[in-house]
Structure 1
Amino acid sequence: LTIVCELKSSIDKAGMYVFGRKAEFYAKNQNRVVDRKIVISPMVDERAIPVAKSLGIETYSYADMVVS
């Protein structure tokens, strides 16, 4: 099981694309399959939510909300 997670104070649409590319880079560079991509941020721009869904990124407002 491989989880890629980013913790940010806020994230916008461009930031979500950047995180998606970081996760792809990690998977390719380490020859691993990324099972979960998670962004934890109390302020997620509403335009970033559809981007997250299209990239398969889970978004959470608080770390306590992440479910295993």
Structure 2
Amino acid sequence: MSKVKVQFYQQRHQQESSRKIVISLMVDPKSQEIAKNLGIEVDSSARDVEVS
């Protein structure tokens, strides 16, 4: 996930994003650890994402 995508979303919707989420069926364990360190949530299904 790039900063550009986050910035595009924020400009398009005129609001700050509070979370970064990636939904993918298969994620390499090392990539999952990197995502965690970057503050990115990783889920295997959109149904697993809790909406606040």
TM above 0.5, yes or no, is yes
Q: Which residue in 2 is equivalent to 1:41?
A: 24
Higher RCO, 1 vs 2 (CA within 8 Å, ≥6 residues apart): 1
What are structure 1's unaligned runs of at least 5 residues? 1-18
State the TM-score, normalized to the length of structure 2. Answer: 0.70
RMSD across aligned positions (CA): 2.1
Return 5+ residue gaps in structure 2 as ranges.
Answer: none
Per-residue CA deviation, residues 36-65 of structure 1 (Å, 9 max, x unaligned), is: 100001101111111101110000011110
* Count of aligned pairs between the two proteins: 47
TM-score by length of 1: 0.56
Structure with greater strand share of residues: 1
Distance 1:60 1:51 in 2: 14
Choose from 16, 40, 43 the match for 1:57: 40
The residue correspondences of 1:1-68 to structure 2 (distance < 5 A) are 19=1, 22=2, 24-25=3-4, 26-27=6-7, 30=11, 33-68=16-51
Rounded Cα–Cα distance in structure 1 between residues aligned with 2:34 and 2:26: 15
